[in-house]
Amino acid sequence: SLRSVSVWGVGGRVEMTVSKFMAIQQALQPDWFQCLSDGEASCEEATSMKRARKSVDRSLLFLDNCLRLQEESEVLQKSVIIGVIEGGDVMEERLRSARETAKRPVGGFLLDGFQGNPATLDTRLRLLSSVTAELPEDKPRLVSGVSRPDEVLECIERGVDLFESFFPYQVTERGCALTFSFDYQPNPEETLLQQNGTQEEIKYVDQIKKIKTTGCNQEMTSFEINLKEKKYQEDFNPLVRGCSCYCCKNHTRAYIHHLLVTNELLAGVLLMMHNFEHYFGFFHSIREALKSDRLAQLKELIHRQVP
């Protein structure tokens, strides 16, 4: 309908109207919040021009209404609205969405619909470049659902600043640990050791495995190891040598393997700590690489780890 978006939550379906949405924001008092938008065009395989246009129109309408309600709310004066760029795969509509949203007093832009399977990412990357070209330099650009290290770098090269992602959690849920290297300027000894390490992992992951996780059928990537595998049963190394997370400082792959095999809760706790730290470390290295103009080197390192 014109006035609302259907949202499915723990209790069932909710008709999210602008006023309901803003009432929730008033209660939460967030620092930033993503505006209500129509992302349905982005969910479908092939978006029709008509559907894409509709998603842009409705999203702009929602934005204007939310901005108006925000003005009237004392409690939300300190909160910042993030405008959402819609338009599916239709270039014309994407550009229109970007230009129109940029005219509004939003604090940043969320580029919706760039998540999805890697096969479609190529076309979407072209859209992405065009969209960010229309956006002001001094406001952050967010993308959600893009999380593989190689894809992250592609988006960063095209002007994305923030990534909301589920990836470290998904990796944890499938009993895996992120192990990919992002150290693009290591010392020579480490290079040799790590190269041997990464060669090993790539050789192994020639067959990509489908591992069921809670509700989401996600494939294990080449950036991680699966601690359930028997080969880790007697591996007394940390998940990643040199990692300073609690898990790597205190525990071994053998212990994590045991916890997973015996279905112990601690497995997820320890893996989560590692996966966050590893992923944050990756982003730290991206920032360092950008500052010292070495992104190409980091990109090359990451691409060596993609099968």
Partner 1 sequence: MAAAASPASLDSAPRIMRLVAECSRSRARAGELRLPHGLVATPVFMPVGTQATMKGITAEQLDALGCRICLGNTYHLGLRPGPELIQKAHGLHGFMNWPHNLLTDSGGFQMVSLVSLSEVTEEGVRFRSPYDGDETLLSPEKSVQIQNALGSDIIMQLDDVVSSTVTGPRVEEAMYRSIRWLDRCIAAHRRPDKQNLFAIIQGGLDADLRATCLEEMTKRDVPGFAIGGLSGGESKAQFWKMVALSTSRLPKDKPRYLMGVGYATDLVVCVALGCDMFDCVFPTRTARFGSALVPTGNLQLKKKLFEKDFGPIDPECTCPTCQKHSRAFLHALLHSDNTAALHHLTVHNIAYQLQLMSAMRASIVEKRFPEFVRNFMGTMYGDPTLCPTWATEALASVGITLD
In the annotated binding site for Zn(2+), the residues are 243, 245, 248, 274
Give the whole-angstrom CA distance, residue 89 versus residue 127: 7
Residue with tokens 């040598």: 241
Phi, psi for 212 (deg, rounded to 5)? -75, 130
* 274 contacts partner 1 (rule: CB under 8 A): no
Short-list 288, 277, 177, 187, CA closest to 223? 177
| 208 Cβ contact partners less than 8 Å away, ≥ 6 residues apart | 219, 220, 307
| 162 Cβ contact partners less than 8 Å away, ≥ 6 residues apart | 108, 140, 141, 142, 143
| 175 Cβ contact partners less than 8 Å away, ≥ 6 residues apart | 211, 226, 227, 228, 260, 267, 271
83 or 168: whose CB is closer to partner 1? Answer: 168
* 139 contacts partner 1 (rule: CB under 8 A): no
Minimum CB distance to partner 1, residue 262 (Å): 5
CB distance 150 to 306 below 8 Å: yes
Minimum CB distance to partner 1, residue 254 (Å): 6
CB distance 88 to 38 below 8 Å: no
104 or 258: whose CB is closer to partner 1? Answer: 258
149 or 168: whose CB is closer to partner 1? Answer: 168
Start-to-end C-alpha separation, the chain? 44
Give the whole-angstrom CA distance, residue 203 versus residue 300: 18
* 269 contacts partner 1 (rule: CB under 8 A): yes
Contacts with partner 1, 193-232, as mask; x by CB under 8 A = ---------------------x------------------
Minimum CB distance to partner 1, residue 173 (Å): 11
* 278 contacts partner 1 (rule: CB under 8 A): no
16 or 254: whose CB is closer to partner 1? Answer: 254
246 or 280: whose CB is closer to partner 1? Answer: 246
DSSP structure class, residue 13: E
Minimum CB distance to partner 1, residue 29 (Å): 16
Give the whole-angstrom CA distance, residue 46 versus residue 63: 25
Q: Which residues inside 229-268 make contact with partner 1, applying CB under 8 A?
A: 233-234, 236, 246, 250-252, 254-255, 258-259, 261-262, 264-266, 268
140 or 268: whose CB is closer to partner 1? Answer: 268
Minimum CB distance to partner 1, residue 233 (Å): 7
Q: Site residues (CB under 8 A) for partner 1?
A: 10, 214, 233-234, 236, 246, 250-252, 254-255, 258-259, 261-262, 264-266, 268-270
